[in-house]
């Protein structure tokens, strides 16, 4: 994003710095595992097709593994891959002892039944926390195992910025399986970093701005650039922008730039704290993915 005005700098929640802190913890854990077991947690990332954004995400996940001392495998299938081919790859990774986490990058091409692929992943290796078994555990309030990467990243941003959701009204914009639904489950759970009163809004919500104006914590995950405007929030709100939207910008070297779902310029003046895009939620997702891969490794050792 363009440089943030001086007056807003102190309001920023710095996702890059917090993700770096978590990744230092991850690297230390990976080093301790290498010492104790002479092995590394292993992540397999499966990419079907050539979606440019997915290619970038997959490359950064593999790079982060190398940086932190985790083993990784990238499996690329052609755009024309069949359901059976994708399922065969997943089943082979389920049986691969060097792999503790499996991630199939979303969205796959239209001929692939994504839920059927997720259902085929061994729940113990489901580092996205997308498998019905892990989603169910999450809804039951069991946070002991694998956690949803982006929503847990948001919880960590709040915790490590000293913001407690307890008793607050958290409004989530978006009801996706990747962000909105698991975000609601985490915030409404009992205990530390939770205990919020949660409202989930979506494309059919009436009087949206009336609801968002009552938010103490507003989490935007709708995939619409600049959707949340200043007149939709109250003074003192904490704003977490999950959106990553590429928009044309003739003044940028690439001709495009990334923006969030929040119109930063009109919302930041009213917000107590706000995440930037990029550099807010984005880096957190990968940090939690690495944490989950380490967690899956440790759980696999306990089973032996």
- Dihedral sign (CA 273, 241, 183, 128): negative
For residues 221 and 4, give the distance between their C-alpha atoms in angstroms, rounded to a whole number.
Answer: 22
Residues 122-141 interacting with ligand GUN (rule: CB under 6 A):
128
Residues 146-165 interacting with ligand GUN (rule: CB under 6 A):
149-150
Span interacting with ligand GUN, options 7-15, 78-86, 100-108, 247-255, rule CB under 6 A: 100-108
* 291, 26 Cβ separation under 8 angstroms: yes
Candidates 44, 124, 170, 178: give the one binding ligand GUN (CB under 6 A): 178
Q: Is 103 in the site for ligand GUN (CB under 6 A)?
A: yes
If the CB atoms of residues 105 and 134 are measured against ligand GUN, the closer one turns out to be 105
Query: Looking at 64, 125, 126, 128, which residue is catalytic?
Result: 128
If the CB atoms of residues 118 and 271 are measured against ligand GUN, the closer one turns out to be 118
Residue 295 contacts by C-beta under 8 Å, 6 or more apart in sequence?
A: 145, 146
Let me know if 113 is a catalytic residue: no
Kindly state the smallest distance separating residue 106's Cβ from ligand GUN, in Å: 4
Could you give the string, one character per residue 271-300, with x where binding to ligand GUN holds by CB under 6 A and - elsewhere? --------------x---------------
Instruction: Please tell me whether residue 107 adopts helix, strand or coil conformation.
Output: coil
Span interacting with ligand GUN, options 9-17, 21-29, 101-109, 255-263, rule CB under 6 A: 101-109
H or E element in which residue 293 lies: helix 282-303
Kindly state the smallest distance separating residue 6's Cβ from ligand GUN, in Å: 33
Find the angle CA(279)-CA(290)-CA(168) to the nearest 5 degrees.
Answer: 60
* 179, 187 Cβ separation under 8 angstroms: no
For residues 263 and 125, give the distance between their C-alpha atoms in angstroms, rounded to a whole number.
Answer: 37
Span interacting with ligand GUN, options 29-37, 102-110, 166-174, 193-201, rule CB under 6 A: 102-110
If the CB atoms of residues 58 and 211 are measured against ligand GUN, the closer one turns out to be 58
Let me know if 122 is a catalytic residue: no
CA-based nearest residue to 150, from 49, 252, 288: 288
Kindly state the smallest distance separating residue 223's Cβ from ligand GUN, in Å: 10
**What pairing do the DSSP bridges indicate for beta strands 169-173 and 197-201?**
parallel
For residues 190 and 192, give the distance between their C-alpha atoms in angstroms, rounded to a whole number.
Answer: 7
Find the angle CA(240)-CA(184)-CA(65) to the nearest 5 degrees.
Answer: 65
Q: Is 106 in the site for ligand GUN (CB under 6 A)?
A: yes
For residues 61 and 190, give the distance between their C-alpha atoms in angstroms, rounded to a whole number.
Answer: 31
Let me know if 115 is a catalytic residue: no
Q: Is 105 in the site for ligand GUN (CB under 6 A)?
A: yes
Q: Is 40 in the site for ligand GUN (CB under 6 A)?
A: no
Binding site for ligand GUN (CB under 6 A): 103-106, 128, 149-150, 178, 285
């Amino acid at each position: 994003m363009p440089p943030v005005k001086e007056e807003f700098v102190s309001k920023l929640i710095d996702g890059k710095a917090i993700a770096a802190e978590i990744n230092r913890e991850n690297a230390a854990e990976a080093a301790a595992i290498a010492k104790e077991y002479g092995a590394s947690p292993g992540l397999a990332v499966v990419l079907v097709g050539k979606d440019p954004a997915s290619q970038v995400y997959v490359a950064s996940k593999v790079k982060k593994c190398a940086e932190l001392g985790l083993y990784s495998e990238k499996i690329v299938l052609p755009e024309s891959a069949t359901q059976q081919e994708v399922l065969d790859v997943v089943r082979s990774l389920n049986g691969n002892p060097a792999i503790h986490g499996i991630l199939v990058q979303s969205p796959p091409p239209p001929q692939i039944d994504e839920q059927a692929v997720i259902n085929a992943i061994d729940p113990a290796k489901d580092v996205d926390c997308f498998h019905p078994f892990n989603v169910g555990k999450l809804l039951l309030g069991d946070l002991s195992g694998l956690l949803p990467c982006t929503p847990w990243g948001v919880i960590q941003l709040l915790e490590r910025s000293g913001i407690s959701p307890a008793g607050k009204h958290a409004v989530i914009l978006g009801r996706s399986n990747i962000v909105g639904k698991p975000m609601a489950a985490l915030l409404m759970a009992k205990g530390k970093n939770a205990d919020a009163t949660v409202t989930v809004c979506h494309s059919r919500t009436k009087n949206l701005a009336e609801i968002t104006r009552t938010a103490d914590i507003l989490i935007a995950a709708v995939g619409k650039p600049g959707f949340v405007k200043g007149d939709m929030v109250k003074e003192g709100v904490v704003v977490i922008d999950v959106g990553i939207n590429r928009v044309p910008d003739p003044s940028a070297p690439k001709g495009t730039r990334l923006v969030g779902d929040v119109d930063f310029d009109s919302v930041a003046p009213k917000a107590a704290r706000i995440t930037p895009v990029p550099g807010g939620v984005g880096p957190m997702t990968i940090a939690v993915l690495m944490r989950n891969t380490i967690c899956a490794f440790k759980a696999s050792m306990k089973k032996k």
